[in-house]
């Protein structure tokens, strides 16, 4: 089976050729909650997140919707393999990307029984060699062999040509505007060869910037912005969903961060707020037409790719320039066409589809050569493999040292445009040219510089990986023969390995240990963590059961003690002669909320009851941390007049809702968190089916019951069934 992966900035898509047609692989559809929007079930958010209720990192929809800290846009940082801080540790972008790809592969296996061991993976048209190599390396460590790296516009054009099944040449313009970048590319499709004639774009201009404008618009209308990381995360999700809804609705209502009221925003107001952002996205389109000295009439079809391209104002402004050449989203889906095209390319490579398809280079590859004149030394881009060369490709070029008796040269590997400069200084303006790396070559001892010449060979394969080989003229000695796996003048490595990925997947984030907000170079927030001394993400209600508002960060911080650190489950009572009060509680929220309610008689759980119990527990154990976990359907079971308060509590981290479809329900999360934290579980339920694997439950003070009698909450130690039977 052949697979294609669109590894996107904010969303990724997996598609496969099933022998007859190309299909998108749906993953995590049960975790969408309120994000059940047309087409979203085919997306896998390129997010990594952390939650204090989970011992390991979260990925995909879980990371996006249920994290107290989340990191999107790791792909945007692959060019320099920037370090991404997550909780109390920093990770290379390539390792984070490998974690996302590993999870995609794992979910495809467990949810759809598909073995994604190889794939064609897409990259942005303007992606430099370093980002391409790191994408391939990340996939490799995730267990996915990359058969080819193809550009996103090429993949979209491949799918479009497959759909229309028309012969003959066609000039296609792709307007690819997603969450992180805008890329406009003009391709000529002739007999299966997709030649990218020109491509322009902006590396950091996408849906994230649109979200920032909408957030600013809403914050200008409300009294108070987000006060906690949980509020900020929920607000960011509300903003993104509102942006998406405004593409099909005239007016949307956005909850305020405290969930106390709503703000209304119209499509016209959003369009006014983002007009300059959209104008900036249109400029690469004009530049592409100018590059080729063509008019819109010379374009046969315009493909609008990426979620941001579907904003009505964007389609309108592109249509004003390109006329009626815009292909309908019903024909070429903006969110999945790139992945579908990659899957078709994979099927061609695997021999499952008999059509002509060629992969070509996006940039020229070469080295920097120096020519001496009487007055100066001139550095130029010496091209070895030209732009738009079909892959695989092998090219040779002969070079001679500038000086006699020269024993070593530094070979610079450059990618870009031969007409642009190749200055070595780190801050030099080389337009689009990039020095991928610098290799030291020791030359053999010869009689003169002419005898020290060598032939340089570049071998570029279909997966976009470059091998460099230099052979001496004198004696045929191989001076260097290596695959490029380090980038930049500092020779920065790839940043991902089997060990780094293993460490990343096993990483246990400590949300209380670090404080920072991470942004990219343009100030776009990539993640948010709470500060030491501010409210922890999992906050419990105040002791007063009648209090409607959440405690302030300072109030919660004042009564919060450091988390207990225990690698193995520990009993809160460690010495029978000394009573040590529990330091951590994990509350079975759904169980406590039910109380004595009779389900068969139409009874319902009550959030007011749960809040009262938590407040009483906090009052009884003022120095303990309390974490409340509820079932996925909790919000839909409480009385309707409690919906808004439950929504607020979930958004602020007062209670934590487990993912829909979790085998074992909330019990498995309650047990995992309690085991990791050495905590006491508060529940009136039985855990008989879990006792075999959680023997620590049989220890002292690992399970408390809770009962309200005459308006007084009583918390007493309980014994699991197995423990009672032994007595």
State the helix-helix crossing angle for 229-245 and 207-219, rounded to 10 degrees: 110
Question: What is the per-residue pLDDT across 469-502, written as a single tens digit (0 to 9) for each?
Answer: 999 988 899 999 998 865 554 444 567 788 889 9
User: Which of 97-101, 330-334, 538-542, 664-668 is predicted with the least confidence, judged by mean pLDDT?
Assistant: 538-542
At residue 553, the 3 state secondary structure works out as helix
pLDDT of residue 693: 63
Quick one: tokens of 284? 């690469």
CA distances from 506 to 66, 67, 501, 503, 570 (A): 19, 17, 9, 5, 21
Tell me which CATH code domain 360-483 carries: 2.60.34.10
**Average pLDDT of the residues in 204-233:** 88
Closest by CA to 391, choosing from 467, 445, 328, is: 467
**Average pLDDT of the residues in 212-223:** 91
To the nearest 10°, report the CA torsion of 480, 481, 483, 485.
-20
Q: Where are the beta strands (DSSP E) in 461-615?
A: 466-472, 478-483, 486-487, 492-493, 517-519, 525-528, 584-588
Does the pLDDT at position 685 exceed 50? Answer: yes
pLDDT of residue 671: 87
Does the pLDDT at position 682 exceed 90? Answer: yes
Question: What is the per-residue pLDDT across 335-363, written as a single tens digit (0 to 9) for each?
Answer: 999 999 999 999 998 889 887 777 777 78
Does the pLDDT at position 265 exceed 50? Answer: yes
Give me the percent of the chain exceeding a pLDDT of 70.
80
- Fold designation for 584-717: Rossmann fold (3.40.50)
* Contact (CB, 8 A) for 483 and 467: yes
Residue 326's pLDDT band, with cuts at 50, 70 and 90, is very high
**Average pLDDT of the residues in 631-649:** 85
Please report, for the chain, the start and end positions of each structural domain, with discontinuous segments joined by +: 2-206+275-350, 360-483, 584-717
**Average pLDDT of the residues in 231-258:** 90
Residue 71, classified by CB atoms within 10 Å of its CB into exposed (0-12), middle (13-18) or buried (19+), is buried
Mean of the per-residue pLDDT values of the chain = 80
Tell me which CATH code domain 2-206+275-350 carries: 3.30.420.40
Question: What is the per-residue pLDDT across 518-572, written as a single tens digit (0 to 9) for each?
Answer: 444 434 444 444 333 333 333 333 333 333 333 333 332 333 333 333 333 333 4
pLDDT of residue 525: 43
Paired sense of beta strands 486-487 and 492-493, if any? antiparallel
Closest by CA to 634, choosing from 605, 672, 670, is: 605
For the whole model, what pTM was predicted?
Answer: 0.65
* Contact (CB, 8 A) for 275 and 287: no
User: Which of 286-290, 299-303, 375-379 is predicted with the least confidence, judged by mean pLDDT?
Assistant: 375-379
Question: What is the per-residue pLDDT across 391-436, written as a single tens digit (0 to 9) for each?
Answer: 889 999 999 888 877 888 889 999 888 988 888 776 666 766 878 8
* Contacts for 461 with CB less than 8 Å, ≥ 6 apart: 391, 392, 467
């Amino acid at each position: 089976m052949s697979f294609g992966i669109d590894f996107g900035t904010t969303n990724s898509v997996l598609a496969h050729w099933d022998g007859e047609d190309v299909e998108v692989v749906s993953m995590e559809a049960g975790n969408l909650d309120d994000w059940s929007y047309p087409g979203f079930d085919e997306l896998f958010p390129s997010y990594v997140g952390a939650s204090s209720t989970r011992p390991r990192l979260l990925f995909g929809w879980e990371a996006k919707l249920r994290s107290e800290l989340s990191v999107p846009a790791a792909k945007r940082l692959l060019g320099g393999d920037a370090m991404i801080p997550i909780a109390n540790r920093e990770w290379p972008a390539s390792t984070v990307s490998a974690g996302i790809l590993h999870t995609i592969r794992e979910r495809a296996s467990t949810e759809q029984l598909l073995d994604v061991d190889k794939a064609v993976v897409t990259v942005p048209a303007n992606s430099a060699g370093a980002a391409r190599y790191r994408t391939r390396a990340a996939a490799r460590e995730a267990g996915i062999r990359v058969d080819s790296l193809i550009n996103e516009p090429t993949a979209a054009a491949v799918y479009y040509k497959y759909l229309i099944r028309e012969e003959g040449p066609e000039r296609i313009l792709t307007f690819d505007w997603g969450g992180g970048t805008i890329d406009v590319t003009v391709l000529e499709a002739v007999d299966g060869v997709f030649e990218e004639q020109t491509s322009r774009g902006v590396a950091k201009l996408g849906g994230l910037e649109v979200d920032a404008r909408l957030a600013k618009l809403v914050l200008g209308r409300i009294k108070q912005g987000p006060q906690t990381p949980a509020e900020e995360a929920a607000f960011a999700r509300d903003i993104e969903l509102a942006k998406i809804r405004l593409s099909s609705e005239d007016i949307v209502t956005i909850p305020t961060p405290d969930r106390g009221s709503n703000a209304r925003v119209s499509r016209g107001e959003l369009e006014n707020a983002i007009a300059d952002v959209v104008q900036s996205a249109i400029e690469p389109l004009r530049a592409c037409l100018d590059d080729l000295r063509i008019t819109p009439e010379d374009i046969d079809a315009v493909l609008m790719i990426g979620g941001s391209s579907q904003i009505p104002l964007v389609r309108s402004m592109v249509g004003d320039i390109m006329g009626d050449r815009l292909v309908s989203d019903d024909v070429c889906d903006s969110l999945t066409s790139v992945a579908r095209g990659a899957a078709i390319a994979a099927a061609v490579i695997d021999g499952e589809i008999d059509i002509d398809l060629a992969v070509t280079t996006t940039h020229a590859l070469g080295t920097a050569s120096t020519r001496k004149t009487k007055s100066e030394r001139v550095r130029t881009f010496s091209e070895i493999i030209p732009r738009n060369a079909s892959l695989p490709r092998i090219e040779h070029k002969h070079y001679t040292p500038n000086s006699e008796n020269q024993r070593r040269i530094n070979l610079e590997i450059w990618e870009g445009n031969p007409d642009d400069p190749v200055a070595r200084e780190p801050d030099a303006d080389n337009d689009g040219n990039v020095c991928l790396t610098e290799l030291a070559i020791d030359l053999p001892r010869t009689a003169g510089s002419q005898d020290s010449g060598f032939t340089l060979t570049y071998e570029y394969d279909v997966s976009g990986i470059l091998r460099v080989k230099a052979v001496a003229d004198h004696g045929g000695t191989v001076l260097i023969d290596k695959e490029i796996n380090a980038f930049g003048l500092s020779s920065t490595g790839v940043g991902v390995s089997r060990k780094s990925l293993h460490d990343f997947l096993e990483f246990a984030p400590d949300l209380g240990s670090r404080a920072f907000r991470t942004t990219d170079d343009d100030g776009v927030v990539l993640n948010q963590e709470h500060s030491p001394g501010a409210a922890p993400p999992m906050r419990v209600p105040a002791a007063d059961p009648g209090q409607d508002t959440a405690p302030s960060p300072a109030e919660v911080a004042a009564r919060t003690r450091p988390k207990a650190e225990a690698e193995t489950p520990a009993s809160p009572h460690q010495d029978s002669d000394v009573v040590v009060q529990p330091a951590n509680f994990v509350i079975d929220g759904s169980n406590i909320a039910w109380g004595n309610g009779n389900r068969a008689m139409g009874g319902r759980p009550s959030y007011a009851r749960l809040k009262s119990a938590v407040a009483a527990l906090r009052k009884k154990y003022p120095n303990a941390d309390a974490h409340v976990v509820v079932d996925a359907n909790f919000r839909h079971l409480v009385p309707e007049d409690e919906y808004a308060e439950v929504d607020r509590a979930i958004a602020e981290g007062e209670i934590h809702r487990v993912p829909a479809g979790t085998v074992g329900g909330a019990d498995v999360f309650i047990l995992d968190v309690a085991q990791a934290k050495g905590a006491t579980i508060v529940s009136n339920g039985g855990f008989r089916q879990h006792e075999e694997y959680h023997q620590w439950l049989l220890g002292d003070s690992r399970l408390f019951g809770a009962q309200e009698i005459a308006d007084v909450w009583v918390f007493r130690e309980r014994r699991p069934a197995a423990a009672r039977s032994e007595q």
